[in-house]
Structure 1
Amino acid sequence: MRETTGSRANYGVLALILIVGFAVRLWSMRWPPFPIDMNDWIAWGEHVLRAGPSGFYTDTLFSDSAPGYVYVMRLTAAIKNAFFASADVGTYHFLYRLPPVLFDLATTALIFFTVQRVFDDQPQPVDQPADTSATSRSRLSLAIVAGAAYILNPAIILNSAIWGQIDATFTFFMLLTMLLLLQGKLEGAGVSYIVAFLIKPQAISLAPAIAVLVLMRYPVRRWLIAGAIAIVMAYSVLFPFLGFNAFGRLYTLLNKSIETYPYTSLFTYNLWGIYGFWQDDTVPLGAGLTPRLVGMLLYIIGIVYGVALMIRQLRRATNDALTVFFFSTYFTFLPVMVTTRMHERYLYPVLPFLIIFAFMYYLRNHSGRAFSAIRGVLNVPFLLYVATTALHTINLYYVYLYYLHYDTGGVDRANTLFYFIEGTARLWSVLTLLIFIGFALMAPSWSLPRRDEQPQLGSLTDGEPA
């Protein structure tokens, strides 16, 4: 009976967090969406509704979107035309911002329950018997802080509820992929990852972490089954748009998309933001090296570094959750910081992985001692989450206002905050890069736990998946 009551309390608290988060997002929708992106969503939705999936990609309509999210655009356009045909464009703005908002809520729920699950796997404080009310309160308070810190994150709200971007959708499936892998559900993880990739190919950033975990923790038979299911899933999604040569046409489409913006940094605070925004990344820096090539070399070096450390840690440990979330954060952070052609929004997927890692790190370091939500937010990874959030919010705010007023003579000079941010862009780039470098360099020195010390999730911790 106590377990049922506790479960009901957990669901009740989660529901309250989600309601508050949803209400904040509804209120935030009073601001206009990002004009360029929203106009694209509306045009693409209307086009695919008229022409059908097979007629979506044409030379007469610019589209650099992967097919996955076009299904959502088609459904949105169909709802608008069926039920709100006479409504103004504001209805479209709401309808297109609603899916990412709902995925924000879903991601928050994953974070909430993941933190609770990790808490349950910790040794209880020696001075506190198991299943006491104090333990239950600690468990719930940590989950509340983690969920609230994500759902009320200003960068997350600005991205989905105001801007109207879709990063929340594929990020949810990236997070779900890693959780399923940690629970021994390789086939489901494969499907989830394919969905993430086909919504936005940026999900490829997570591939090194997935590959290392799968190769080291799953037998070949499971690889083959999961791979076959993923290929069938991908082909089924792509075929209506790209036909029998779906994979070949997808490759061409992605290459074309990459070449849309051949510049150093598209206002992103990263290495190339220090060098300069919107510089041609094919112009040699010297010795025949272009920014594009330097960025790719740094990315390859970063992958080798991360893969080597992740393999080392997985060989030392049998419980993998802390390691997996550390390197999921690292690998999603890496390309945004060192490669060219990065949009400011691409930092988004780092945040859910980082906040889960922060609470796993705290729980592991306080194993066997009384847990406190206050101490939980004072650990180094959580402070990095806060700093990354602040810098990412500044970045999004600047770009949002810049383009919102692009056709009307620019942002009002009275907005001193905007022009202060603009004048100190290199500083923000340096700070963001330092956060990443600090996080990356901590990998070999942080006391990542050996053997049975790590927070654990599901069947992977019980032995090799069958």
Structure 2
Amino acid sequence: MTIQILLSAAFLAAVLWLGFRVPAAEGGAPQRRPLFGLPAAPVFCTVLAAALVLRLILGYSINGFDADIACFKAWGYYTHEVGFSGMYYSDFFLDYPPGYLYLLYLTEFFRRLFFIPDYAQGATLLVKIVPILSDIGTAAIVWAFARKKLGENGALFVSAAYLFCPAVIINSAVWGQADSFCALLLLWTALLLWRNHTPAAALVYGLGVLSKPQMLIFAPMLIFWVIRRRDWKNLILGPVIALAAILVLSAPFIRDWDFTKLIDLYTGTMDYYAYYTINAYNIWALFGLNWAALPESSVWLQFGVPLAVLLSGILMLKAKRKEALFACPAVLMFTVYIFCVKMHERYLYPVLLSLLLTYVFTKDRRFLVSFAGTSFFHFLNVAYVLYLNNAYIEPTAPQILLLSLAHILMYGYTLYAVWRVFLAKKAPAPLNLPRREKPVSGGKAAPSGAPDSPLLTAEGRSVRFTRTDVFLVCAVTLAYGLVAFWNLGDRQTANTTWTPENGESVIFSTEDAYSEIYFLPGIAPADDGVGQRVGVSMLVEVSDDGETWTTALDNTEGSVYAWKSAAALATGKYIRITPTCDDLAINEFALKKADGTGFATLTAVRGEASALTDEQNVVPLFPSYMNSTYFDEIYHARTAYEHILGLEPYENTHPTLGKLIISAGIRLFGMNPFGWRFTGTLFGVLMLPILYHLLKRLFGSTFLCTAGTVLFAFDFMHYVQTRIATIDTYAVFFILLMYDAILVFLQTDLMADGWKKILPPLFLSGLFMGLGVASKWTVAYGAVGLAVLFFGKLVFTYRALGLSSLSARKRDETQAAFWQRALKTCLWCCLFFILIPFSVYFAAFLPLTLLPHNRYDVLGRFFAYQTHMYNYHSTLQATHTFESPWYQWPFDVRNVWYYGNYNADGAGGLRTISVLGSPLFWWAGVPAMVYAFVSTVKKRALPAVIAAVGFLAVYLPWVLVPRCTFVYHYFTAVPFLLIALLSAYSRLCGSPRLQNPIFSRTVRGHVVALTAGQSAMLAFLALHLILFAVFYPVLTGTLTTQDYANALEWLPTWFFA
């Protein structure tokens, strides 16, 4: 669920952010701006194709709700077997009206035409193809009308918002429900009414009612529209046409013209679920009545229906604008959903399209906000129900109550928007944040800041990426990416697991001579479905006659997905393997030939042992990091896989998000070394453009930004730490993002800039902070630095107001404006830096708290995990050979030896992996950081301030940590070390001597010069890259010799082999 929640939250943020940036039409004339310099139609078709491909992939790979999919398949099957006339007279469950059965008939026709088995995924996709194509058709219609109202950019935005809305996708492509098709018919009906084609609208509406009974809810929309237009003829004709369409199309399903069968079907459908609410998180769910049985007399509980009719009547008949037509479905269905009983979770679906369409025709962003918020909570509701898959959940569970309250609040906001836009006496202007706020007083903007106020500087505000910047950052990122992914790990390993009972043995025979025993410890769900089998204790015995057995290996050690080899203490024709523990899990077993050229051929003699020898082709002749876990991968990669298996993770001493991100790579590439290291390496690559952007805003110099990015990319720590499947990578990644975002905020004018410019970077900084803390608690240290920078910004803003030079009246007005702006900003920050991060953090734990044994006490288990993590870290007394105290880290005193294999090729070759910092970079960073501290105090230069504050925030807390620590804990400080180094370099290059050009040439009319300072940096970079090449074998596990590795141990505390 966590990935789904994060994706839906990202969609919510994207819609709100883009919705207030994409210009809406003003004064009735749509703005037609070019789309990337391309014609509008091809761009939209590309978006449409991408949405279709996404839906086809999801529809094929995810079964959806098994019971519903099975019904759709069966109904399609029976339309061919018993015919239309036998559908309602046969002995099987059927609660859908005839309209949708026509479509299921077609899907079954194509299934049979292409000989697709009904159990195949292709058959599941065919069932979903109607709602999938309905999504595409709906988006195309919305786009066509939005072009006339909002222009090309606005039309592309709203159609993409619908196409990629998680709530829309999960309904059609995942669940495969008919709601999308009915929403298309509802859209068609509304647009026909809008164009005054009432008879045609009635016909389409009749098709909708014939497809799903819930379409009856929208009848007041047609009735009140006709009354509003005083079209009395169509008030009679419309129902006749709709009824005629229903009767004609249902006739093939009815025998002897007995249409009472149809009436019984509709009334029976509404009476079938006699519960207050069926997973619809509304007002009844808020009272703890989810799946609670209704009393015998429950007619009065349907008060939501007359309330919905009343509200829609007021809207349609009293509205000053006829665009109220498009808001009417939202009012109707939202009211029914919130207050009526017998509601299902999916019934809210049409509200989304109605709100989006209302935004298109009114251009009022209140409806966009309502669409974004409602779709977010509706998705959580539907996704949670699909995730539970009929599992029982306590009706008073906090997640149900919170989502119910959220739906009610969004309902209230939607009614407020409808009232303000359509019914208020004075119709307000569309909600649209201004590009520039009014001056704070007296018609003059407040001063933007004094020159000595680094947190007010406008430097970076006008910085734009040039083509050179884009080329260089792409080139560095690509070059590093190739180096980083080179020899990252094998794409294949053994994955089928042998899980015998204790004492259950298997026997193999072989005719080959062998000398070593190989096996791969695996992982499998335990019998309780919660824990895991990870035992490695087993006895390997050999015999020449199958009667007398000799021990060849008595194993008690091993790590998950790390190949282990051991010399056979004895050999024989027969090999017997017997578990000596209750939870043995072995993925593969092999015997290395005595000549070392391959593996013996094993033939099963007794017992079920296929899982032990079915993947002999992936057994490595020489185990190494390429095919095995190493260091903390034995915990973090394993935990990521346990999340995929739905098990209680063994490693729960850190928050979950980092391991969930690792699991994404495993889902993509499988449980193999490349899969579990992929996302960490990818995030290490993605750090580079983020760092470049941050440096660009700080220094503005393309040369300096490129140099800094290269330094960081090929720092030993960055390279090694992002290639191992641990969670430190994600901590650094999100720290970079949250400081990059806060820097954008620092470079705004707090008094003159509008909220549109001030709030987004704060929101992003808080969001990234939440994601970072959900990956590793150390990111919380960096959050202290964000607070220092934020309040420093307020202090310097106040000091820059120049109050002493103002009159008493102006001084009071300016002070009042400042405190008002500061208070509002702080209130927003409570949302951005407290509520949102906590929500993200809480969501990251849902894969744990929603496990079957936890879901009955989600909050209790959540806090129990926090207590466990805190107790672990605060009471840890362990020691380690390669631990190092905090004060040694900046000087690169002690490395951590991650991996070593002294006979990696069978001929004495060495493979070794160590993590440490690049000595040239780190040692130069020490005086540079001292300079940053001094510059912060004396000159208050912004780069130095960021370097000093960020460095102290992530580094100083380690002074108080009593547990054993390692140099890789310094990784979070390395970006700030880099900023300090570049800041010091920039200061030194300000001297005339270093500004003198030592090389100059004119190229195409432009003078290209190289200064002494630039040449010094290039020399520094060259030496840095040379050191990377020299140390490469001991950083990567590349085959080398022990003598070479020992020669690189420059300090007596370094150890590589």
TM-score w.r.t. the length of structure 2 is 0.35
Aligned positions of 1:280-295 closer than 5 A: 280-282=293-295, 292-295=298-301
Between Structure 1 and Structure 2, the one with more strand by share is 2
Residue 430 (1) aligns with residue 405 (2): yes
Q: 2:93 aligns with which of 47, 57, 62?
A: 62
Conserved 8 A contact 1:111-1:352? no
Q: CA deviation at 1:214?
A: 1.4
Conserved 8 A contact 1:238-1:246? no
Counterpart residue number, 1:375: none
Q: CA deviation at 1:259?
A: 1.7
Letter of the 2:318 partner, please give it: R
Q: Deviations over 1:223-263 (max 9, x none)?
A: 44444433332211110012454542211111111121100
3-state DSSP of counterpart to 2:50:
helix
Letter of the 2:386 partner, please give it: Y
Letter of the 1:312 partner, please give it: K
Counterpart residue number, 2:53: 23
Q: 1:201 aligns with which of 213, 237, 242?
A: 213
Q: CA deviation at 1:221?
A: 3.2
Counterpart residue number, 2:261: 249
Q: 2:183 aligns with which of 171, 194, 208?
A: 171
3-state DSSP of counterpart to 1:348:
helix
- The 2-side partners of 1:330 and 1:452 are apart by 19
Q: 1:105 aligns with which of 117, 136, 141?
A: 136
3-state DSSP of counterpart to 1:43:
helix
Q: CA deviation at 1:75?
A: 1.6
Counterpart residue number, 2:290: 277
3-state DSSP of counterpart to 1:15:
helix
Counterpart residue number, 1:32: 63
Aligned positions of 1:2-401 closer than 5 A: 9-29=39-59, 30-58=61-89, 60-86=91-117, 88-119=119-150, 139-217=151-229, 219-243=231-255, 245=257, 247-275=259-287, 276-282=289-295, 292-313=298-319, 316-317=320-321, 320=322, 322-362=323-363, 379-401=365-387
Q: 1:440 aligns with which of 380, 395, 415?
A: 415
- The 2-side partners of 1:432 and 1:87 are apart by 38
- The 2-side partners of 1:186 and 1:247 are apart by 26
Conserved 8 A contact 2:220-2:309? yes
Counterpart residue number, 1:124: none
3-state DSSP of counterpart to 2:39:
helix
Q: Deviations over 1:190-213 (max 9, x none)?
A: 111011111111111211111100
Letter of the 1:20 partner, please give it: A
Q: Kindly tell me: are residues 218 and 451 of structure 1, through their superposed partners in 2, closer, same or farther at Cα, counting changes over 3 Å?
A: farther
3-state DSSP of counterpart to 1:57:
helix
- The 2-side partners of 1:454 and 1:65 are apart by 44
- The 1-side partners of 2:53 and 2:257 are apart by 44
- The 2-side partners of 1:24 and 1:422 are apart by 33
Of the structure 1 ranges 237-246 and 20-29, higher mean CA displacement relative to structure 2 is found in: 237-246
Of the structure 1 ranges 218-227 and 193-202, higher mean CA displacement relative to structure 2 is found in: 218-227
Q: Kindly tell me: are residues 442 and 260 of structure 1, through their superposed partners in 2, closer, same or farther at Cα, counting changes over 3 Å?
A: same
- The 2-side partners of 1:147 and 1:91 are apart by 28
Conserved 8 A contact 1:235-1:246? no
Q: CA deviation at 1:453?
A: 11
- The 2-side partners of 1:447 and 1:336 are apart by 22
Q: Deviations over 1:361-392 (max 9, x none)?
A: 336xxxxxxxxxxxxxxx32211111111111
Q: Kindly tell me: are residues 204 and 148 of structure 1, through their superposed partners in 2, closer, same or farther at Cα, counting changes over 3 Å?
A: same
Gaps of 5+ in 2: 1-31, 431-1057
Letter of the 2:337 partner, please give it: V
Q: Which runs of 4+ in 1 moved over 6 A?
A: 449-455
Conserved 8 A contact 2:279-2:385? yes
Q: Rg larger in 1 or in 2? A: 2
Letter of the 2:233 partner, please give it: R
Q: CA deviation at 1:422?
A: 5.4
Gaps of 5+ in 1: 120-138, 284-289, 364-378, 412-417, 456-466
Relative contact order: is structure 1 or structure 2 higher (C-alpha 8 Å, sep ≥ 6)?
1
How many residues of Structure 1 are paired with residues of Structure 2 in the alignment? 394
Cα RMSD of the aligned pairs, angstroms, is 2.9
Q: CA deviation at 1:424?
A: 1.7
Q: CA deviation at 1:269?
A: 1.3
- The 1-side partners of 2:187 and 2:131 are apart by 15
Conserved 8 A contact 2:278-2:343? yes
- The 2-side partners of 1:164 and 1:397 are apart by 13
Letter of the 2:341 partner, please give it: T
Q: Kindly tell me: are residues 88 and 19 of structure 1, through their superposed partners in 2, closer, same or farther at Cα, counting changes over 3 Å?
A: same
Conserved 8 A contact 1:398-1:422? no
3-state DSSP of counterpart to 1:268:
coil
Q: Kindly tell me: are residues 92 and 261 of structure 1, through their superposed partners in 2, closer, same or farther at Cα, counting changes over 3 Å?
A: same
Q: Kindly tell me: are residues 87 and 442 of structure 1, through their superposed partners in 2, closer, same or farther at Cα, counting changes over 3 Å?
A: closer
Q: Deviations over 1:311-354 (max 9, x none)?
A: 111xx45xx1x211122221122211110111101111111110
Percent identical: 24
- The 2-side partners of 1:220 and 1:196 are apart by 23
Letter of the 1:380 partner, please give it: R
Conserved 8 A contact 1:359-1:382? no
- The 1-side partners of 2:196 and 2:162 are apart by 26
Letter of the 1:12 partner, please give it: P
Q: CA deviation at 1:448?
A: 5.0
- The 1-side partners of 2:272 and 2:123 are apart by 26
3-state DSSP of counterpart to 1:439:
helix
